[in-house]
Structure 1
């Protein structure tokens, strides 16, 4: 392996270590979610570096699966937290799918 490969793997390992520290320390749910998403991106970057340096195209499907997992996980957590924020607001009984102006327009039509 070349010096470039060692440097790249060291940077990826350092980033993964820092993401794991943020995942463990927290302090909130959103910090942990961002740390998990960052860790998945670092894993995808590590797979991409390995595939590029070793010229191994068999890693590409795994790279796609990890990328999709990171995306779907981030979107689902964002929707869950967004739903929690809407339900804890002052209008807890109101339908959370439409903004207030759209509900008024719909009621008047």
Structure 2
């Protein structure tokens, strides 16, 4: 039995994916996003424009996505270099997480 559990754990791999939190309301107009965490009465709206708004829209379009997938989408949309995208993207996603607008969800695949 222990061998079965061990082999099952070895096969199941978690894939962290970013997604917009369920308690966040947002709207867009003319390339600008305004997002607000609704579960915090003291939260202030966050305004995203330019590439920040594009990344938010990518997250919305994909529903949830791993960071490499988001990076690939940004590279494709902006015809950018991978090295110019990856670190700033990671920093931006961390700031959105700190603002409680997005969260990291781990999905397991068999």
Same fold flag (TM > 0.5): no
TM-score by length of 1: 0.27
TM-score by length of 2: 0.26
- Give the number of the structure with larger relative contact order, counting CA–CA contacts within 8 Å between residues 6 or more apart: 2
Higher strand fraction: Structure 1 or Structure 2?
2
Higher helix fraction: Structure 1 or Structure 2?
1
Structure with bigger gyration radius:
1
